[in-house]
Copies of this chain bind each other. A is one copy, B any other.
Amino acid sequence: MQKDFNKTQIDMFIEKCKQHNLKITPQRIAIHGAVVQSRNHPAADEIFKIVKEKFPNISFDTVNRTLLTFSQIGILKIIESFRGARRFDPNLENHHHLHCINCGKIIDFNNENYDRLEVPRNIQQKFTVLNKRVILSGICKECHKTK
């Protein structure tokens, strides 16, 4: 079994596309290039701006759809967040969340071990932590049943 030692990033990208029957278009190559070089967790429009320098005709839409496609085939991740409308919580106590990635439900839970988590020393120096919380994401019981 051949190892992937000397695969370049672009070769791995092409391989992933082939695995998923995605065509290798110049746009996809450019978007991939922009995103793997990015820092700071770019949003689609930042990638759009970068790619547009090489492909002035590219549409925002293609960039956005391509990024979503890439996340589906495991080339990048979407930063998990509770999307949709802002939610309010009358529970003022510190608590943690279960997040069902299927139905979007957020379930509170309390856990003293999690409350006691220590902030790493090197982070204390560069960031003032006001709140600590743990998010466990996955599939809730109800969504399991209906699958």
Q: A64-100 interface mask toward B, CB cutoff 8 Å, 1 = contact, 0 = none? A: 0001001100111111111111111111100001101
How far is B13's CA from A90's CA once the two chains are assembled, in angstroms? 12
CB of A51 closer than 8 Å to a CB of B: no
Residues of B contacting A76 in the complex (Cβ-Cβ under 8 angstroms): 88-90, 92
Most buried by B among A43, A45, A47, A86: A86
> Which secondary structure dominates chain A's binding surface?
mixed
A41 x B77 contact (CB < 8 A): no
Whether A119 touches B90, Cβ cut-off 8 Å, given contacts A41-B106, A44-B85, A127-B107, is no
Closest CB-CB distance, A62 to chain B, in whole Å?
A: 15
Q: Which 7 A-B pairs have the closest CB atoms?
A: A43-B85, A130-B138, A41-B87, A81-B82, A129-B138, A79-B87, A128-B139
Of the A-B pairs whose beta carbons lie under 8 Å apart in the complex, a sample of 29, sorted by A's number, is A35-B88, A35-B90, A36-B90, A40-B106, A41-B89, A43-B88, A45-B85, A47-B88, A74-B92, A76-B89, A76-B90, A77-B90, A77-B91, A77-B92, A78-B86, A78-B87, A79-B82, A83-B86, A100-B127, A113-B120, A119-B136, A126-B140, A127-B136, A127-B138, A128-B144, A130-B139, A132-B135, A133-B134, A135-B135
